[in-house]
Amino acid sequence: MMILTHAEQLLKVAALGSTLQIPGMILANRVLSWREDLAKLAPVNRRIMVVIALTIVGVVQALGAISYTCSQEIMGGSRTGLAVVLLAFCLWTYRLGIQLFCYSSIWPRNHRLSHWGLCALFATLAGAYGLVLVALLTRGSR
- Per-residue model confidence (pLDDT) at position 140: 59
Other beta carbons within 10 angstroms of residue 81's beta carbon come to 21
Burial 107-133 (b: 16+ CB within 10 A, else e): beeeeeebbeebbebbbbbbbbbbbbb
pLDDT digits over 20-64, tens only? 988 888 888 888 999 999 999 999 999 999 999 999 999 999 999
Q: Going by C-beta distance under 8 Å and a sequence separation of 6 or more, which residues neighbour residue 88?
A: 14, 63, 67, 125, 129
- Per-residue model confidence (pLDDT) at position 1: 44
- Per-residue model confidence (pLDDT) at position 3: 59
Q: Is the dihedral of CA 92, 98, 104, 110 positive or negative?
A: negative
Instruction: With CA atoms as reference, report the closest residue to 26 among 120, 140, 118, 127.
Output: 118
User: How large a percentage of the chain has pLDDT more than 90?
Assistant: 84
CA distance 75 to 82: 8
Domain limits, the chain: 6-135
pLDDT digits over 89-105, tens only? 999 999 999 999 999 99
